[in-house]
Amino acid sequence: MRRIITAVVLVILGIIAAVFYSRPLSAAENDFLIYFENSTLALKSQTIDRTIYLPLQEIVRHLGLASTDATGSQTFTIQGQNSRLVLTPGSGFISYNDQPILLQSAIRREGSQWLVPLDFLSQGLSRVAGLEFRYRPGSRRVFAGRVMTTELAMNAQSLGALTRLTLRAGSPVEVELQKEPAQRRAVVLLKAKAIDPARERLEYKDALVQSITFDDSEGMPRLTIAIADDVRDVRLTPSDGNRVYFVDFVREIVSEAGPGTPAAAAPAPTAAAGARANVSPGGGLRVIVIDAGHGGIESGAANAGTLEKDLTLALARRLRAALQSRLSSTVILTRDSDVALTSEERVAVANNNQAGLFISLHTGFSQDRMAAGSSIYIMKPDFTVGISEPAGDRLFLPWYMAYRLSAPASKAMAEHLQNNLSQALPGSKFPIRYGPMGVLASATMPALALEVGNLNNDVSVKTLTDPEFQTKFTATLAAGIEQFATGRRK
């Protein structure tokens, strides 16, 4: 009897398994949003054979369009003003006013429910609804019609006693921080209707932050950050007219007074107005941005396979490491790979992150093979807006005048580094030069461009590619920047 029961159970399990595995590959339902100008439609999507499908009838009802579900002919018809859209299940073809349109995936019908792939919205529904549907691959939302969206970028970085999450919005956004220590999480509410995040989830994890996830399924865009037990406090600081926010997760530090006695946490960044917004409460450098010149198709100067873009990136990485070992500042590279950036994009990294110092690294090139080539550039004091844009090299783009805010500090920094480099590198003069440099013109903080060596000099190339020289050079720069930062605290 026991054998019979066991056999029956096995047969039943086999049938269940056969039914389950014979179904199309489908993920669990996920919340999906369509933002309209005056409303938001929340849907349950289905992922079938790696294609996202949406329930058609709910969308049609929300838009108030007339429709007919003809069971006998297996067609679904949507009526617009002087237009008609006809769908049939199992086919990627739809008919708009009797003209065929091919979708990337077939229309599906499951029972009484019609399911359409995402490209149906832009290829078919937009024609009868009179609306444009905008979708970014990988996201969980569609924007329809004249909906104004706010782009959101975020990055996280460990700064020793704290982890900093930086949020950058395309337009000013009101933000609210909700601390939920019992749930070991913090929630950042973004009070804007339509947020378009560059990423749904930030792939970042360290000793303080476990996960960072964007979600707007409940109608209020939010970031949920899972935090570790070591987080003592969470602080929110606005900047750049509410376009940038710093969310700091502060570690609980045990002082020498004994176990369980928390030391003072690192101060949150201030949001002072104007040129002093990039200075920390103590007057030092809260954020430093290092620009590795050239990149991508812009190789810069070259000599026998040695490219300027590769040397500048190597020096930028070494300088970042040297600064991080000396200062508690956030050190950001404008590029950390072989990508092309415009002058505006480079300096925007510094401005958007409220940097206290911006240094653009380059190698020199002189027709005189015996020349050293090294120089320190700062903006011309008499630079004017009336200068027309030159053709050719985009290193010289005389567009903006923001550099005037920090011109004295830029000169002081240049003189300081000139003295340090000349002493540490015998034979190197590093004269200070002036020019209308686009990569410096719109910087709102002390900014300079540094050229080192001469790529037209074989001896100089050998020196520039020597790891020992690179380490010594960047260590000298880091020491000079540290002294500059210390001077700003006084």
Q: pLDDT tens, 47-75?
A: 998 899 999 999 999 999 999 998 888 99
Pick from 196-200, 422-426, 471-475: least confident: 422-426
What is the rounded CA–CA span in Å between residue 369 and residue 376?
19
What does the pLDDT read at residue 401? 63
User: Please, are residues 421 and 428 in contact by the beta-carbon 8 Å criterion?
Assistant: yes
Predicted confidence band at 261 (pLDDT cuts at 50, 70, 90)? very low
What is the rounded CA–CA span in Å between residue 472 and residue 454?
18
Tell me: the pLDDT tens digits for 382-405? Answer: 654 454 444 444 333 334 566 777
Q: What phi and psi values does residue 391 have, to the nearest 5 degrees?
A: -80, 155
123-156 burial, b if ≥16 CB within 10 A, otherwise e? bbbebbbebebbbeeebbbbbbeebebbebebbb
- Whether 313 shows a pLDDT value over 50: the answer reads yes
What does the pLDDT read at residue 258? 36
What does the pLDDT read at residue 138? 80
Choice between 486 and 99, residue whose per-residue pLDDT is larger: 99
- Alpha-carbon torsion (449, 455, 460, 465), positive or negative: positive
Mean pLDDT along residues 251-265: 41
Average pLDDT, the chain: 81
Tell me: the pLDDT tens digits for 330-362? Answer: 899 999 888 888 887 888 888 878 899 999 999
- Nearest Cα neighbor of 287 from 303, 271, 310 is 271
Give the pairing type, strands 302-303 and 306-307.
Answer: antiparallel
- SS3 (DSSP) at 410: helix
What is the rounded CA–CA span in Å between residue 220 and residue 153?
17
Q: What phi and psi values does residue 246 have, to the nearest 5 degrees?
A: -110, 125
- Nearest Cα neighbor of 262 from 272, 252, 271 is 252
Tell me: the pLDDT tens digits for 429-445? Answer: 889 998 878 788 888 88
Q: What are the residues whose beta carbons fall under 8 Å from the beta carbon of 328, sequence distance 6 or more?
A: 159, 160, 266
Q: What are the residues whose beta carbons fall under 8 Å from the beta carbon of 353, sequence distance 6 or more?
A: 166, 244, 287, 289, 330, 332
Q: What is the largest CA-CA distance in the chain?
A: 101
Provide the β-strand partners of residue 464.
none
State percent of the chain over pLDDT 90.
43
